[in-house]
Amino acid sequence: MMRNVKTFRPEALIGLQEFRSFVESFESELLRGISTLSVLSVIQKHSQEGIYGYQLLKELETETRSTLVIEEGTLYPILRKLEKEGILFSEKRDTKGRQRKYYLLTERGEKLLDHMKGFFSKLTEAIAPLMGFEIELPKEIFYCPNCANKINAKEYADGEIKFCNICGLYIEELLK
Amino acid sequence: MSYKKHEEQLIKEFRDEVSKKLPLWLKLNATELRETLDELESHIWDKAEDLAKGEEPNAIHVREAIYQMGSPRDIAKEFKRRGTPKFYLSAELCPWYYKSLLIVGVIVLFTNLLTMAFTIGRSDNIGQIVGQTFEGIFDGFVTGFVVLSVIFIVLSMQGFLPEDIRSKAKTTKELVTKTIKGPPKAPKVKSVLPSQGSFLFEGIFSLTIGFLLIFFPYDNYSSFYPFDMTQLIPWLGLLGGIMIFKGVIKFSQALVGKHVRFQQIFLGLSLIPSSLNIALFLQLHLNSAILRQPLLDLFPGADIALYIKIGVIIIVIVTILEMIHEISRIIRLETRGFPELEMYETPRTY
């Protein structure tokens, strides 16, 4: 966010190099994890057909109302890293005479993302009062009390899952 | 130059610039490098098409798309930011760094001790040779440390990860899809080191023989010897000293049990008596007169000098092989640890 501020009054606090570098560093640290989470969430939305880099950035920009902007050149190292870690896999397809690389979540990636989302949701809920607002998490989603894994309550209702697939906690009883 | 060609030229220049700045680990993998650049190019065309709003993108659109992509340096920087920073090295490369230091350290120790053994074996100025050996070991350690540190810092800065170095690493995908059917079979384990009992036995045996060789009252039993041992007694005393040194090390190895680092230290120390052993037998070869005449009295007409030479060569070769074996144990301990420890590690499955 701070990097996007190109014009400011010279006497403003942002004009101080120390202040600016501190905030930039803070934002960069905070955004690093959130960017990965957001990128994976957008990819999850395209779990059937996959999504290519440019489309992903555009969607991210639209979904976050241009608040979370990943620099174009830095997206691909992130995607490559996630692919190497087995969280994503890719498929090459020819479109308009050009080859595009479509990214999809692996089974492991799906599970990891559920956990990341669960942890982020619970964390945001917990720290929200400190920021002066409150968050109410949706009732139809169950969060594992042991590891904060996000679990779809419908799958519970269908009796598909009895244990948290991240930490192995027996959760069937907790839902009743 | 046609308009289309000009756009392609702009992209080609951008690809070349990025390629130059990319880290070494990526440049070394031609397929991955090509795929990375192709993906960046595809992104530029997508962006340019977007900027052209349905029209055929022209050079201005392409130039703008390249500008928004970010500088080649920034793109490359992100590819380098792979490891977890730890001091000046990435945490992922640290174990490799320590292993390399250990291997280089052991090789420095081995070569210097071997050089010392052969120099002492052919000279009488022992003090100076030992001094030079310690100097050589110190210089070797410092040089190895500096060279390895520089190499690993550069690799860390380039974003190298262990999987880039391993030639036949399993792909992450393979690891992810791996499942275990049924209870895991107990792995066949081959012990890196002998048992504590063996160490204890070797220690006691070496200490007993060593003390016997030093303190044996040779003069009291002179009538039992088949030949005159007067000149040989000091040599046997030195051999006894080496055996005591070896015995103490073996005894200590029995005491420390399965402590990897201590075992490695003692294995490293055991190279010293081995090298002194070589020196001592080479000295015997150099001063073979102390054995030659008494043995000639026993076996008249035999080529005693040749037999001594052959005996010394065999002992030296066996001792060097023993030293190499000890070095391999140090390295195997570093890479594998004790087999018992490995059994507690269960593979992760997802």
Is pLDDT larger for residue A5 or for residue B172?
A: A5
Instruction: Give pLDDT, residue A13.
Output: 85
E runs forming strands in chain A: 51-52, 88-95, 98-105, 141-143, 150-152
Instruction: Give pLDDT, residue B188.
Output: 58
Instruction: Give pLDDT, residue A66.
Output: 84
Which stretch, A162-176, B102-116, B288-302, has highest mean pLDDT?
B102-116
Report d(CA B297, CA B70) in Å as an integer: 91
- Residue in chain B lying closest to A72 (CA): B69
Is pLDDT larger for residue B169 or for residue B258?
A: B258
Q: In sequence order, which residues have a C-beta less than 8 Å from that of residue B288 and are 6 or more positions away?
A: B304, B305, B308, B309
Radius of gyration in angstroms for the set of CA atoms belonging to chain A, rounded to a whole number? 19
Tokens 């990025």 belong to which residue? B18
DSSP bridge pairs for A151:
A142
The structure tokens listed for B273 are: 């008596």
Instruction: Give pLDDT, residue A57.
Output: 93
- The answer to whether residues A169 and A144 touch, using CB atoms and an 8 Å cutoff, is yes
Residues of B with CB under 8 A from a CB of A: 35-36, 38-40, 42-43, 45-47, 50, 68-71, 74-75, 78-79, 81-82, 163, 172-173, 175-176, 350
A53 CB near a chain B CB, below 8 Å? yes
**Contacts A73 to B, Cβ<8 Å:** 40, 69-71, 74-75, 78
Smallest Cα–Cα separation from B283: which of B132, B120, B133?
B120
Mean pLDDT, residues A49-62 taken together: 93
- Residue in chain A lying closest to B35 (CA): A101
H/E stretch holding B117: helix B94-121
Residue A105 has pLDDT above 80, yes or no: yes
Residue A122 banded pLDDT, cuts 50, 70, 90: very high
Residue B90 has pLDDT above 60, yes or no: yes
Residue B167 banded pLDDT, cuts 50, 70, 90: very low
CB contact under 8 A, A73 and B81: no
CB contact under 8 A, B70 and A71: yes
CB contact under 8 A, A53 and B39: yes
DSSP bridge pairs for A52:
A102
pLDDT in tens, B335-348: 777 765 444 444 44
Instruction: Give pLDDT, residue A107.
Output: 92
- Residue in chain B lying closest to A94 (CA): B42
Is pLDDT larger for residue B222 or for residue A52?
A: A52
pLDDT in tens, A26-40: 888 888 889 999 999
pLDDT in tens, B215-224: 888 777 777 7
**B269, HSE (Cβ side, Cα atoms, 13 Å):** 16
The structure tokens listed for B224 are: 């039992």
Instruction: Give pLDDT, residue A127.
Output: 94
Smallest Cα–Cα separation from B131: which of B143, B122, B119?
B119
pLDDT in tens, A132-172: 999 898 888 888 888 888 887 666 666 667 788 888 888 87
CB pairs under 8 A between A and B: 68
Residue A4 has pLDDT above 80, yes or no: no
Domain boundaries, chain B: 3-81, 89-169, 196-339
Is pLDDT larger for residue B225 or for residue A127?
A: A127
Smallest Cα–Cα separation from B44: which of A88, A100, A5, A141?
A100
Is pLDDT larger for residue B230 or for residue B31?
A: B31
Mean pLDDT, residues B127-133 taken together: 84
Instruction: Give pLDDT, residue B171.
Output: 45
What does DSSP say about strands A141-143 and A98-105: parallel, antiparallel, or unpaired? unpaired
- For residue A3, what are the CA distances in angstroms to A37, B59, B140? 21, 28, 49
The fold of A1-105 is Arc Repressor Mutant, subunit A (1.10.10)
DSSP bridge pairs for A142:
A151
**A78, HSE (Cβ side, Cα atoms, 13 Å):** 20
Instruction: Give pLDDT, residue A126.
Output: 93
pLDDT in tens, B28-38: 888 888 988 99
Report d(CA B7, CA B57) in Å as an integer: 9
Share of chain A above pLDDT 70, in %: 91
Distance from CA of A8 to the nearest CA of B (A): 22
Distance from CA of A38 to the nearest CA of B (A): 18
DSSP string, B29-81: -HHHHHHHHHHHHHHHHHHHHHHTTTSPP-HHHHHHHHHHH--HHHHHHHHHT
B299 three-class SS: coil
CB contact under 8 A, A107 and B350: yes
Distance from CA of B277 to the nearest CA of A (A): 52
Report d(CA B343, CA B138) in Å as an integer: 38
Instruction: Give pLDDT, residue B103.
Output: 87
The overall average pLDDT reported for chain B is 81
Smallest Cα–Cα separation from B270: which of B327, B349, B222?
B327
Residue A142 main-chain phi, psi, to 5 deg: -105, 135
Q: In sequence order, which residues have a C-beta less than 8 Å from that of residue A83 and are 6 or more positions away?
A: A89, A90, A103
A89 CB near a chain B CB, below 8 Å? yes
A86 CB near a chain B CB, below 8 Å? yes
pLDDT in tens, B22-80: 888 888 888 888 988 999 999 999 999 989 987 888 889 999 999 988 888 888 887 87
Total residues belonging to chain B: 350
Instruction: Give pLDDT, residue B259.
Output: 85
Distance from CA of A130 to the nearest CA of B (A): 30
**Contacts A89 to B, Cβ<8 Å:** 173
The structure tokens listed for B60 are: 């201005």
Angle at which helices B72-80 and A72-84 cross, to 10°:
20
Is pLDDT larger for residue B265 or for residue A154?
A: B265
Q: In sequence order, which residues have a C-beta less than 8 Å from that of residue B190 and are 6 or more positions away?
A: B339
Mean pLDDT, residues B202-218 taken together: 89
Instruction: Give pLDDT, residue B181.
Output: 53
All CATH 1.10.10.10 domain ranges in chain A, comma separated: 1-105
Residue B8 has pLDDT above 90, yes or no: no
Residue B88 has pLDDT above 50, yes or no: yes
A110 CB near a chain B CB, below 8 Å? no
Residue A113 banded pLDDT, cuts 50, 70, 90: very high
Residue A74 banded pLDDT, cuts 50, 70, 90: confident
This complex has an ipTM of 0.80
Distance from CA of A96 to the nearest CA of B (A): 10
